Amino acid sequence: MTKLADGRELIYFDSDESAVRDSADLRPLEPTASLSEIRRDPATGDRVTVAAHRQGRTYHPPADECPLCPSADGRLSEIPADAYDVAVFENRFPSLAPGAPAPAGDGDPLHVIAAGAGRCEVVCFTADHGASFADLTPAKARLVLDAWTDRTAELSALPGVEQVYAFENRGAEIGVTLAHPHGQIYAFPFTTPRTAKMIAAAAEHRRRTGGNLFEDLLAAERRDPVRVVLAGEHWTAFVPFAARWPYEVHLYPNRRVADLTGLNEAERAEFPEVYLELLRRFDRLFTEPGDNTSVAPTPYIAAWHQAPTLHGEELALHLELFTIRRTVGKLKFLAGVESGMDAFVNDVSPEAAAQRLREVAS
């Protein structure tokens, strides 16, 4: 671990343990300041983070000014080294940050407000600006998994952190503002709304059946594999029965664990091949069978769901991968019933999506 010029932490993960990454950050940076606050919606109980200081964050810089490329030829970036395998650093424009100041509340129980305390990290998957996660070798993908696991363990141990969320947004259509292949990790000081719903559903399933919701769900999909996309010895990928997005795949380890730190070596070893195959299939979704030329890289979100540090005993680690593209040249925009009422309408049947994802196998 090293420090950037403004005091933020930077951690390198290298395949070669003898690699030396000791270049200093020579930029004249002022210490970062987070003004985030977390407000509770009195109508739903959901937490909303207000981070007005993020309006000035870097937005679609040209490739030769990318802040995630290695520093080289006098151009200084967020990565002081002239090369790296995987790099993780504290976000310069964080939604949540350690030591965020406690806002002054008015004492009204309808206006509950707290400091935006937590941590936001950027995970650079490769130094190659023009690559994507799907271009990584299995060894490099395993290194990213190791980085996610390391950060999950470290961030979960921070005071006040309740949930660690690792994810990747890819594509301008998703809203990505930096084209370099990267993801993020949020350490939340609360349990996120979607996870809270899962916890409630798992508790109700346990009450009704005596079983674990996620174990039973995975077993059901494997018994009747009409929606199974890819099945390995240790991982299973399937389109969920009630998929919200046109092409949505959930990837589960066959053995239930709470978070990334619970995976064993066999599960870690198989993950890269399975995940890379899924990503490559996503990039072939909108091509004709046998046509290896992609219309355009498929925009997607890849989201790791992990149990929170409190009240998450029933949850199962899994990754949810989905795209907002529904067909060639058409995106699925959230309509009024979806944005306004959180009631999704899917234009593609889950069974048809699974069949298409099997058709584009390598």
Report which secondary-structure segment, H or E, holds 139.
Answer: helix 138-156
Q: What stretches of the chain adopt beta strand conformation (E)? A: 2-3, 9-13, 37-40, 47-50, 86-90, 113-115, 119-124, 163-170, 182-188, 228-231, 235-238, 247-253, 300-305, 318-323, 325-327, 330-331
Residue 317: the pLDDT is 98
Residue 290: the pLDDT is 62
More confident residue, 104 or 303: 303
Is the pLDDT score of 292 beyond 90? Answer: no
Is the pLDDT score of 278 beyond 60? Answer: yes
Is the pLDDT score of 1 beyond 90? Answer: no
Q: How far apart are CA 104 and CA 36, in angstroms?
A: 12
Report which secondary-structure segment, H or E, holds 221.
Answer: helix 213-223
Return the active site residues.
182
Please, are residues 295 and 285 in contact by the beta-carbon 8 Å criterion?
no
**DSSP summary character for residue 8:** -
Q: Of the given ranges (22-31, 53-62, 289-298), which has the lowest mean pLDDT?
A: 289-298
Residue 101: the pLDDT is 84
Please, are residues 76 and 69 in contact by the beta-carbon 8 Å criterion?
no
What mean pLDDT do residues 45-74 have? 88
Is the pLDDT score of 294 beyond 80? Answer: no
281 CB burial (10 A radius; 0-12, 13-18, 19+): buried
What mean pLDDT do residues 135-162 have? 97
CATH architecture of the domain formed by 2-190: 2-Layer Sandwich (3.30)
Please, are residues 86 and 202 in contact by the beta-carbon 8 Å criterion?
no
Assigned CATH class of 194-359? alpha beta
Q: Which tens digits make up the pLDDT trace of 312-326?
A: 899 999 999 999 999
Q: How far apart are CA 52 and CA 36, in angstroms?
A: 7
Q: How far apart are CA 155 and CA 133, in angstroms?
A: 23
What mean pLDDT do residues 197-203 have? 97
Dihedral (CA of 146, 150, 155, 156) sign: positive
* Residue-averaged pLDDT of the chain: 94
Report which secondary-structure segment, H or E, holds 36.
Answer: none
Q: How far apart are CA 9 and CA 1, in angstroms?
A: 7
Number of Cα atoms under 13 Å in the Cβ half of residue 23: 19
What mean pLDDT do residues 197-206 have? 97
Residue 125: the pLDDT is 98
Q: Where in the chain is the domain with CATH 3.30.428.10?
A: 2-190, 194-359
